[in-house]
Amino acid sequence: MSLKSLFCATALLTLAAPALAQTATTGNVIFFHPDGTSVNAWGAARMHLVGPDGELNWDRLPAMGVYTGHMQDRLTGTSHGGATVHAYGVKVQADSFGLDGSTPITAASGKTMSIAEEALAAGRAVALVQSGHIAEPGTAAFVASSPSRSDTSFISREVIESGAQVIMAGGERFLLPEGVQGRHGAGERKDGLNLIERAKELGYTVVYTREELMALDTASVDKVLGVFARGHTFNDQEAERNLIDGKPSYVEGAPTIAEMTDVALKIVSRDPEGFFAVIEEEGTDNLANSMNAGGTLEALGRADEAIGVMRRFVDANPNTLLITAADSDAGGLQVIAAPDAKEGDAVEATTEGGGILLGQQGRFGDVFLSAPDARGTRHAYGLSFVGYNDVAGGILVRGAGLNSSLIEPLTDNTEVYAIMYRTLFGQVPSQ
């Protein structure tokens, strides 16, 4: 029976009985959100990392469906609105952060809690792992609600006090009082709260660098707060600006999303009641929105490496669902052939024949060489972008492990929640 059929059947059962029917074996859930990644983005990653005939870790996920990510009031998703749909399973307004606009949500489960909050209430471990700052909605909207996504001080406090066993992100500036120096720079909070000290009071072991993270004893540490940058763990500017400023695409000394994921899963998987992990690579979105081609390719490589970590975990722990999707297509990335170019040349799009022009540095960045194809040939190409905004794009839901067969050929963003909910709780949401 398809998931949509189960929704209908459950709705009929709910009319006759208040309890939800048990419908599935329960287990762990890993939701990976490589923000802003379309099929085109993964195609560029494939060409760049393993060649056009190769396979990414993303390619090896067996379950697949086309993702529909429209909001209540618009066709294109937003980061905070999309995360809220994933967390609650209901369509909300695009400008929503754990709410429907400014109104509290009744989740698809019939409760007012997000799926992460229900997992915590049921005694399961929760991990929130993020390459962006701690108030980024892809993870934070699962435990925080705010009328404004810009209220980073409030959202950061909600995350720290959420009860999640593992929290990893950047954003030290949102955790320290204004003027207080941290490991990565000065704080910005105007309310005087020191949320790092608050985290220590709550029992968190705090780490600040890749070296400190990798030194943790994952067999004994119970609660971890990773604070790996003052803002994001990446520099989301145009490539030219990063070059002028002398900044790499990613902050030196910060762990990759794969390294964070590996440590987080080792910790939360020790919980006998199971776990729910929300993991986001935010650089795939922000760097693409900056039309930073090289940075976007690096971010995609990091995201795929993290999928490899998750796939290996699922292979060793088959009672775990891995499900992954973006909520929008950042920048509308396209690959453009550059047959007469060499690596390092600058490219610009041209309307003549759909090709490219070589010459002065343009908004579409440099020429890259693909990894070798099956014949050993490396191909020159460039990346172009629609603009600095998010578009609907072509997005896939992919998955592996427990209940991944519930991913249908056409999977709505609300159904991502439903598949995760069924796996965690053995029930189909009543709405």
Catalytic residues: 79
The C-alpha angle with vertex 200 and arms to 197 and 205, in degrees rounded to 5, equals: 130
Question: Taking Cα atoms as reference points, which of 320, 271, 312 lies closest to residue 25?
Answer: 320
Q: What is the residue-wise DSSP string for 341-363?
A: --TT-BEEE-SSTT-EEESS--T
Strand partners, 357: 348
Q: Are 336 and 384 in contact (CB under 8 A)?
A: yes
How far lies 418's CA from each of 73, 95, 97, 176, 260, in Å?
21, 22, 19, 37, 26
343 is in an annotated binding site: no
Q: Are 251 and 228 in contact (CB under 8 A)?
A: yes
Please provide residue 99's backbone torsions phi and psi, each rounded to the nearest 5 degrees: -140, 175
**Residue whose token pair is 């400008």:** 95
100 is in an annotated binding site: no
Reading the block at residue 67, the tokens are 């993702």
Q: How far apart are CA 113 and CA 141, in angstroms?
A: 11
- Per-residue DSSP letter, 404: G
Q: Are 294 and 237 in contact (CB under 8 A)?
A: no
Q: How far apart are CA 295 and CA 289, in angstroms?
A: 11
**Residue whose token pair is 């009744």:** 106
Cα dihedral 115, 116, 120, 125, rounded to 10, equals 130
Instruction: Please count the CA atoms within 13 angstroms of the CA of 102 that sit on its side-chain side.
Output: 2
Reading the block at residue 114, the tokens are 């997000």
Q: How far apart are CA 348 and CA 387, in angstroms?
A: 14
| Through-space distance between the first and last CA atoms of the chain, rounded to whole angstroms | 18
35 is in an annotated binding site: yes
How far lies 406's CA from each of 61, 143, 419, 423, in Å?
14, 25, 7, 10
**Annotated binding-site ranges for Zn(2+):** 35, 285, 327
**Annotated binding-site ranges:** 35, 280, 285, 327
**Annotated binding-site ranges for Mg(2+):** 35, 280
